[in-house]
Structure 1
Amino acid sequence: MTVFVDTSAFLAVLNADDRFHLAASRCWEELISTEQRLACSNYILVETIALLQNRFGMEAVRVFENDVLPIIDILWVDWDTHSLGVSALLAADRRNLSLVDCTSFAIMRQSNMRQVFVFDVHFAELGFEVIPK
């Protein structure tokens, strides 16, 4: 089974000051030790790297690139998936829902993924199994 990883989880694992850091670190260690297959989209990568660079600097980006990305399967958003995400975003008409989230929902549905490592309520609202619980 593949677990989709959201930006919120990456940031919580990498930032010791994040309010979810302890739960995220424990979950990350369990996922790694049980050799779960982990995946995210290229949109998640762009969002995560931009936030790491802005909040913590280039060293945080290097750690992410060198230590985290080698164990993540990258799922590339194609035009059709992007279009599904845009349609979902516009239909939802919610300011606090992002295009990155909407493309993540589309990828997870297309790939029959149910579990997501996330600290974002939108995934649970749409029926995905959120970890940690």
Structure 2
Amino acid sequence: MVTIFVDSSGILALVDRDDPAHARVVEAFTLGRSEALATHAYVVVETLAVARRRFGPAVAADLIDRVLPAIEIAPVDATLHAAAIEAFRSTIESAVSLVDRTSFAFMRREAIQRAIALDVDFRTAGFETLPSEIP
């Protein structure tokens, strides 16, 4: 089964009906019915913090109860963390976050090529994004 990575930008657009990419992200998430969805623990931490701050505790709770169970959430082990820190440090002047560096290292390790992400940095890192048009 093919796996699609899920970034916090994709999850947040899924719950934000006012997001310009909302409908396309909903469509991308329907691929999860035939393809596995995966992310890592740092994305979950980032997503829940932003969701609670931006949309309130009810939306964060809904993510925990209804969205996250549909996504396989991998722990960030010491090896993955070290690879992400090394990549982050070597590009410290870049705007790419440590969470995104962790995502790229995770995707490479797991041979995942596609991500539900609205972040152009995923494309710059060589991955395909869903939806394909990033607003």
* RMSD, aligned CA: 1.2
User: Aligned to 2:61, what secondary structure does the other structure show?
Assistant: helix
Deviations 1:20-53 (A, max 9, x none): 112112222x314x42100000000000000011
TM-score by length of 1: 0.93
Deviations 1:85-108 (A, max 9, x none): 111111112342100000000111
Percentage identity across aligned positions? 36
- In structure 2, list runs of 5 or more residues that go unmatched: none
Which residue pairs with 1:19 in the alignment?
20
Structure 1 distance, partners of 2:62, 2:93, is 33
Structure 2 distance, partners of 1:94, 1:35, is 39
- In structure 1, list runs of 5 or more residues that go unmatched: none
Matches within 5 A, 1:32-71: 32=32, 34-71=33-70
What displacement does 1:55 show? Answer: 0.7
User: Aligned to 1:39, what secondary structure does the other structure show?
Assistant: strand
Quick one: which amino acid aligns to residue 59 of structure 1? A
Matched, 1:126 2:132: no
What displacement does 1:12 show? Answer: 0.4
Structure 2 distance, partners of 1:77, 1:94, is 24
What displacement does 1:17 show? Answer: 1.4
Kindly tell me the number of residue pairs found equivalent between the two proteins: 131
Structure 1 distance, partners of 2:94, 2:51, is 23
TM-score by length of 2: 0.92
